[in-house]
Structure 1
Amino acid sequence: MMLTGKDLTLNQSKKIIFNKEEVTLSPDALERVLKSRKAVENIVSKKRIVYGITTGFGKFSDVYINTEDVKELQHNLIQSHACGVGPPFFESVSRAMLLLRANALAKGFSGVRQEVISSLLALLNAEIHPVIPQQGSLGASGDLAPLSHLALVLTGEGEVFYKGGRIKSSIALKKEGIAPIELEAKEGLALINGTQAITAMGVVAYLEAEKIGRLSEAISAMTMEALNGIIDTFDERVHLARGYPEQIAVAKRMRIWLEGSHLTTRQGDIRVQDAYSLRCIPQVLGASWQVIGYVKEKLEIEMNAATDNPLIFDEGETVISGGNFHGQPVAFAMDFLKMGVSEIASISERRIERLVNPQLNDLPPFLSARPGLESGAMIMQYCAASLVSENKTLAHPASVDSIPSSANQEDHVSMGTIAARHAYQIIQNTWNVLAIECITAMQGVEYRGIEKMAPRTLRFLEKAREIVPSITKDRMFSSDIEACASWLKTYDFAELMEV
């Protein structure tokens, strides 16, 4: 695939990040990069005072840097700023950061040499992934600490993940025949002044959240059957009467899932109305799909944005110090994603309770094979409740917080990287909640009789039963939850809608 700096999509990113599709720089982007670089070289040669090229950074923006010191300035920048802490980002996130940083520089507003972008793409294509600590970014002036750890690798410093191990970057570069580069004027700043840690974490989180939305519908359809849910609630007329496209779409998919089921009921057959966790599936999941759609829109803008500072226009005649590095748009999106996914888990946990609570259904208490002697799924509901409660804490918006930095020059920041990291943790918790609902729903429909299930939900159950066996006696359910969650993450949900 060719990077243009303009039209990278989430679907393309998925192929590059996870399927390891190779990436090159488009000819048009290369032309823009070369012109932008020439402008920087003219600024240096003419000794113009331009932030980050011939001056220090942040509070040191008024300190002039001599021409002979501009290379040292860039090296000092990434050395001093590489102070992240905590566990490293997953390789998928590190990989996404390489891709997104290269795409931003390809826009031609940053003034870097072609070699810088080529080195980023060489790392990506060789599957050399920088070790980047997760903590330490304020989300403005961009993701300075995380991106500094990435930039160090280009110079042969720092550590990388390579072929299943964690080694010095110099060793991996040598093995792949990639020459370290020496950063020149503006290049260190251009590499680290951006939102690529927030956005990369956001891209990986979004791709999982999208899948969670689809699978939550499949699992809730099976729960509907286990609880003899009322199918009338998905009648298209109800949802057209409100008008939200996402709600209408969820109701339609639920009707498809449950087509041909002999376990669902009609109004008045057993009860007049279901509880909200069943009756309001389209309304709640539809609202979460609204959130997911919003996040997709903002990520795809940010993935193709110039987010460093200063930016170079008019072939160097105009250099403007702005604030595109500020992560607020993505910070809001990540906080919104946290809420949207948290509610998928929250309503799922309420359905789990209805599956296991003998006061709310006519199934065996806690779906136990021998109630009393064996506890069955009792504590699985506890686990789901704990995860949902943890999600509520993690969903606290990071984007409303700010602590001034750089001697109050950078006096408002986004905390967006925290929001993105917490969104990802909420997503992992939600996978486990959905796994618990899947396990308990399967147990419930088996009690009802799987021969009465809809063809699509039956197919889903048969696939899931290859991963988690039926509960015939108490066992260590932790392993079942983990196995089911892992399977859900990798299962192709497009296949689920086929008969």
Structure 2
Amino acid sequence: MTNQTQIHQVTLDYYSLDDLRTIAKNLPRLKLHPDVITKIETGAAFVLEKAAEDRYIYGTNTGFGSLCETRVENEEMEMLQYNHVVSHAVGVGEIVPESLSRLMMFIKFLTFRTGHTGISMAPVQRLIDMWNNDIMPAIPKKGTVGASGDLAPLAHMALPLLGLGKVHYKGELVETAVILQEMDWKPLKLKPKEGLALTNGVQYINARGAQCLMRIEEMMQTADLFAAMSSQAFSTSETFY
């Protein structure tokens, strides 16, 4: 559960494994540094400007894959991003622990903060609000990872923004629609490129890897402690006698 007495400001600074460990352990409320907000807003404005121009921008005003040269009209761009997210939310298997979902979301914030993804503040702030209210996306364990991104896990992370899917809330899996009504939130409408910004990336792999490294370090420290205790218990000596 989020520690309501602590606030962590997401900045443009470097985040180490120790920083991630601290965030995962303390679970502070989150807010974005003004410089981060400026970066995000600048990137989003750039995408909107370019999407309206008479040029093809993959996955923004064109289709995907073999449809990369098929122009998408302005009034269809929102539906393109919606369909992109929904069509990739096809993960299967058991739902991953809430702790993994939360760490994955935080690492995604670290990607958004640069402004390079072109995402606007609305979906980023909604994800921040979800974090601060202990509403974590329900993400199936198995699905497409790597390639052009952890497409399935990240699509499931994005579903609640659209009012779809399920979330972890108060120890239970709850339909997102129920939570939106309780929080008086409306489903978001994705702007050009935002579906891609949400699903492209390897934050699921990053979160898995970070958790594994944290556990390995804990095991190594425990092993060193046991070795030292055993040496003392057996009166270990450098000589035979």
TM-score past 0.5 threshold: yes
Residue identity matched to 1:162: Y
Q: Please give the per-residue CA displacement for 1:262-300, whole angstroms capped at 9, x wherever unaligned.
A: x2223121xxxxxxxxxxxxxxxxxxxxxxxxxxxxxxx
Partners of 2:184 and 2:12 in 1: how far apart? 26
Counterparts of residues 97-496 of structure 1 (less than 5 Å): 97-225=104-232, 228=234, 263-269=235-241
Residue identity matched to 2:218: K
Q: Please give the per-residue CA displacement for 1:318-370, whole angstroms capped at 9, x wherever unaligned.
A: xxxxxxxxxxxxxxxxxxxxxxxxxxxxxxxxxxxxxxxxxxxxxxxxxxxxx
Q: Find the counterpart in structure 1 of residue 36 from structure 2.
A: 29
Identity %: 33
Name which one, 1 or 2, has greater alpha-carbon Rg.
Answer: 1
Structure showing the higher strand proportion among its residues = 2
3-state SS of 1:188 partner: helix
Q: Find the counterpart in structure 1 of residue 50 from structure 2.
A: 43
Following TM superposition, by how much is the alpha carbon of 1:179 offset from its aligned partner in structure 2, in angstroms? Answer: 3.3
Partners of 1:191 and 1:53 in 2: how far apart? 13
Partners of 2:63 and 2:76 in 1: how far apart? 11
Distance 1:42 1:3, change over 3 A: same
Q: 1:82 aligns with which of 86, 89, 92?
A: 89
Partners of 2:156 and 2:236 in 1: how far apart? 55
Residue identity matched to 1:19: N
How many residue pairs were aligned?
Answer: 234
Partners of 2:145 and 2:24 in 1: how far apart? 25
Q: 1:55 aligns with which of 59, 62, 69?
A: 62
Q: Find the counterpart in structure 1 of residue 24 from structure 2.
A: 17
1:47–1:67 contact (8 Å) kept in structure 2: no
2:149–2:202 contact (8 Å) kept in structure 1: yes
1:85–1:134 contact (8 Å) kept in structure 2: yes
Partners of 1:222 and 1:158 in 2: how far apart? 50
1:92–1:204 contact (8 Å) kept in structure 2: no
Residue identity matched to 2:149: G
Residue identity matched to 1:99: F
Partners of 1:51 and 1:109 in 2: how far apart? 15
1:47–1:54 contact (8 Å) kept in structure 2: no
Partners of 1:101 and 1:59 in 2: how far apart? 28
Residue identity matched to 2:166: E
2:78–2:190 contact (8 Å) kept in structure 1: yes
Structure showing the higher helix proportion among its residues = 1
1:20–1:125 contact (8 Å) kept in structure 2: no
Following TM superposition, by how much is the alpha carbon of 1:139 offset from its aligned partner in structure 2, in angstroms? Answer: 1.0
2:145–2:202 contact (8 Å) kept in structure 1: no
Following TM superposition, by how much is the alpha carbon of 1:47 offset from its aligned partner in structure 2, in angstroms? Answer: 3.6
3-state SS of 2:215 partner: helix
Distance 1:179 1:203, change over 3 A: farther
Q: Please give the per-residue CA displacement for 1:291-320, whole angstroms capped at 9, x wherever unaligned.
A: xxxxxxxxxxxxxxxxxxxxxxxxxxxxxx
1:33–1:108 contact (8 Å) kept in structure 2: yes
3-state SS of 2:28 partner: coil
Following TM superposition, by how much is the alpha carbon of 1:225 offset from its aligned partner in structure 2, in angstroms? Answer: 4.3
1:105–1:112 contact (8 Å) kept in structure 2: yes
1:5–1:105 contact (8 Å) kept in structure 2: no
Indicate the structure whose relative CO is greater, using CA pairs within 8 Å and at least 6 residues apart: 2
Partners of 2:238 and 2:197 in 1: how far apart? 62
1:99–1:120 contact (8 Å) kept in structure 2: no
Q: Find the counterpart in structure 1 of residue 3 from structure 2.
A: none
Distance 1:205 1:179, change over 3 A: farther
Distance 1:140 1:76, change over 3 A: same
Q: Please give the per-residue CA displacement for 1:47-90, whole angstroms capped at 9, x wherever unaligned.
A: 42101111112343232211111000000001110011111221
Residue identity matched to 2:23: I
Following TM superposition, by how much is the alpha carbon of 1:5 offset from its aligned partner in structure 2, in angstroms? Answer: 4.2
Partners of 2:209 and 2:224 in 1: how far apart? 23
